[in-house]
Chains A and B, each alone.
Chain A
Amino acid sequence: MNKPELIQGNQACAMAAVAAGCRFFGGYPITPSTGIAEQMVRMLPDAGGVFVQMEDEIASLAAVIGASLAGSKAMTATSGPGFSLMQEHIGYAVMAEVPCVIVNVMRGGPSTGRPTAPSQGDVMQARWGTHGDHPAIVLAPSSVGEVYQLTVRAFNLAERLRTPVIVLYDEIIGHTRESVVLPDSVEIIDRQHPDIDPELFRPKAAEGGVPPMPAFGDGYRFHVTGLTHDERGFPTEDAGLTGELMARLNGKVDDHDQEIIEVEEFMLDDAEIAIFAYGIVGRSAREAVQQARDLGIKAGLIRPLTLWPFPDRQVAAVAEQVDTIIVAEMNLGQMIREVERASGGRTEIVGHLRADGEPITPSQLLAELTNHKKAVQ
């Protein structure tokens, strides 16, 4: 067992990436994510990897995709405006099925906004930011330790499903130092390599939904494109083939959603009122629930570690049970719409929202729980 170490969130992200097998990082400086790049440049050379600072965030994700096609596990990290610039290539990675990890350390927006202030304003952009119908996997850690765990998980999901995976946390988690006991080893999943004769290889033929993926230079010569394509990877305008590709790309995530979704449930068993919170707000919510219990209020917490795919089933079950769900998020109301949709009118939904650059505190949420419990009684 390792000793506890005092680690910053961004540092934990880089350490986890290297532990998960990441051997390429391409990035561009932007607050508050820059610490990840600064850590990667120190760690990657000794791990046998390569670091490059690109000319912008568009190029950063392009380089990551290029490196992944060359067989490396690859990652980039950014914030706010840089995440906007990466949307083009998030879509490309979805369409071309290139595994990669994108970390977005959220800051205040819109535009350049508040670079050093926390926010959860990018949760919908992480889902819908790139154009067209596409799947999304977005993981939301709430502590430095969870940044480590979920960054490893992001690589494993990306490699297994050949799709980009986004790790989404905020400025507070990125810059906070916490005592963490790092694992001796982590589970590592690698992309499946084809074993077929290269002459017979069809790069997008997928029996189980996820096609095997050789690297450029492995002896398989194939075409990669962001255009709608057939099993040979070549552009097509056939409606049937387009429909099949769209169904398969989205099915890779939709059909595995219960494996991908992770939710923490705290004191929910007999709860009459629940808080839905994620990321850093999840920690304030947990404290508020604990304090409410001390006051005799039957409060509970549902905290998704997976934001997308959205935990519909889990939220519906809570909605069935409690009188009120308080959705606490550091934006003006983004995931609350999903909670309302998943709840289907079965319970009252109340928002505790702020987008002023300040975190949501336990006392604010305790007051919210106390007020609503009184109102219900």
Chain B
Amino acid sequence: MTDVKSYLREWAMPHVLCPGCAHGVVLRSFLVAVDQLQLDQDKVAMVAGIGCSSRLVGYADFCTLHGTHGRAPAFATGLKLARPELSVVVVTGDGDGLAIGANHLIHAARRNIDITVILLNNSIYGMTGGQVAPTTPEGAFASTAPSGNTEGSFDACNLLIGAGASFVARVMAATPIEMTKVMAEGVSHPGFSFIEVISDCPEYFGRYNKTGGGADMLTSLTLRDEGVAVPLSSKRFVNHVPNSAPPPGMPTGVLRREIKPVFVGIRKVTNDES
């Protein structure tokens, strides 16, 4: 088992995450990927927005930028354009990346700038106390959806494929080895890479929707039906809502991989670079 302590700021612990939250597993999987890729620790930059997932970067011993709500892809764009030798990785959540920051995310994808975005999707706003998110399935309960969510939800991977992302993948937080493999592929991909991690929020989503604790929620993430994994949490409450449609399949793994020109900004390209 890879020792990731050298990539952690132990002095910054204890962390802010709740018991049963899988976000820490996601960070560990990423650090293992960094170790496997043998990236220069001084040349890795992690950029985050606001929310539980975004707090992860504070514990990672790289150059870390904890920015503003939803804007991480825009900060990362400036960082990468000004210093192309950095490996720039954005960590965001479903509220951060798909509500307030969706515009920045799709434009970073459209440009095909060479950064990686890891979006931790727990289907709810955790840090502010369990409000409905653009990923909350129809019918699910949240503090701002006390009678069940009546809005449609985003499929993050489909959204990013539509925006032109050249690498799109989905993994479950319950499968850390696969997470590491996909993250290593995403970071190595030349161009914009997007990885959606289906994580959990037992503290809010779990309590509001009676999906059990962290272990129950994570176990449910590994259930598969003909190669399609469907989080049990979404099945459960959808079944509770009369006349609601079943959740769309959530295929995992690398869903798109394409090599196309990488955006480097408007600059003079020298012969060595071209």
**What are 6 A-B pairs at a CB distance below 8 A?**
A48-B268, A52-B78, A71-B83, A221-B61, A225-B66, A226-B67
Which chain B residues (168-201) contact chain A, with CB distance < 8 Å? none
For the complex of A and B, list the 7 residue pairs with the smallest distance between their C-beta atoms, beginning with the closest: A66-B78, A63-B78, A62-B74, A59-B74, A70-B82, A67-B82, A66-B79
Which chain A residues (9-56) contact chain B, with CB distance < 8 Å? 23-24, 26, 41, 44-46, 48-52, 54-56
Q: Are A234 and B12 in contact (CB under 8 A)?
A: yes
Is B42 an interface residue, CB under 8 A from the partner?
Answer: yes
Nearest CB of B to A129, in Å: 15
A192 and B78 CA atoms in complex are apart in Å by 21
Which chain B residues (226-262) contact chain A, with CB distance < 8 Å? none
Chain A residues with Cβ below 8 Å from B74 are 54-55, 58-60, 62-63, 66
Binding site for A on B (CB under 8 A): 9, 11-12, 41-43, 45, 47, 57-58, 61-68, 71, 73-83, 85-86, 103-104, 107, 264-268
Q: Are B62 and A66 in contact (CB under 8 A)?
A: no
Chain B residues with Cβ below 8 Å from A59 are 71, 73-74, 77, 103-104, 107
Q: Are A51 and B266 in contact (CB under 8 A)?
A: yes
* Given A49-B267, A63-B78, A64-B78: A70 and B83 interface contact (C-beta under 8 Å): yes
Interchain CB contact (< 8 A) of A52 among B62, B76, B265: B265
Q: Are A88 and B68 in contact (CB under 8 A)?
A: yes
Chain B residues with Cβ below 8 Å from A58 are 71, 74, 104
Q: Please tell me the size bucket of the interface on A.
A: 35 or more
Binding site for B on A (CB under 8 A): 23-24, 26, 41, 44-46, 48-52, 54-56, 58-60, 62-72, 74, 88-89, 92, 215-227, 232, 234-235
Besides A23-B82, A62-B75, A221-B41, 7 other A-B contacts (C-beta < 8 A): A44-B266, A50-B264, A52-B81, A216-B86, A221-B61, A226-B67, A234-B58
- Chain A residue at minimal CB-CB distance from B265: A50
- Chain B residue at minimal CB-CB distance from A227: B66
* Given A51-B266, A55-B103, A216-B79: A221 and B63 interface contact (C-beta under 8 Å): yes
Chain A residues with Cβ below 8 Å from B45 are 216-217
Chain B residues with Cβ below 8 Å from A50 are 81-82, 264-267
Q: Are A66 and B76 in contact (CB under 8 A)?
A: yes
A312 and B241 CA atoms in complex are apart in Å by 65
Chain A residues with Cβ below 8 Å from B85 are 217
Nearest CB of B to A50, in Å: 4
Chain B residues with Cβ below 8 Å from A226 are 66-68
Interchain CB contact (< 8 A) of B83 among A45, A52, A63, A215: A215
